[in-house]
Amino acid sequence: MTGVVCRNCNTWLPPDFTAQCPQCQNSLIWEGEEKNIIDHLEPNCLINRYDGSDLLEPAVLLKCGRTNAKVATKLQEYQKPVSLSKQKVYYFDQQILSSVQALRNERTAAMMRYEQLIQSHWRQLKPYPYH
């Protein structure tokens, strides 16, 4: 574990913090029903934050405004969440996420194969013999 987040104030804390949150002064409870830290990301939405990209990322919706949403794609972002348009936030669907990631991987592999084929043709070129 690289760190945790205080559930009360969303402050990022290193894993060696054991007493209380320095931001809100709440005692940290690490286990049981009273646990008040976040130690892993449980995505509840998918986001597309880059214009023109087909990359979907799992995220946690933290706050929703009129036009923008604040999300965290990793624990460190709870304190300073990513802000993006609400139109770029979708319901979390593991099957769709997996399908898109698989297709992106196939596309990358195909592009690498084409690059290798083109390179093999370039290697067959012989310099023109000037006299």
Q: Residue 118: its pLDDT value, please? A: 97
Determine the average pLDDT of the residues in 25-35.
79
Q: What is the pLDDT of residues 58-94, one digit of tens each?
A: 999 999 999 999 999 988 888 889 999 999 999 999 9
Q: Are 8 and 37 in contact (CB under 8 A)?
A: no
pLDDT bucket at 32, cuts 50 / 70 / 90? confident
Bridge pairing between strands 68-72 and 57-64: antiparallel
Structural element, H or E, at residue 101? helix 94-123
Q: What is the pLDDT of residues 99-120, one digit of tens each?
A: 999 999 999 999 999 999 999 9
Strand order across the 12-13 sheet: 12-13, 4-6, 37-38
Q: Residue 1: its pLDDT value, please? A: 54
Determine the average pLDDT of the residues in 51-63.
92
Q: Residue 18: its pLDDT value, please? A: 67
Distance CA 65, CA 70 (A): 8
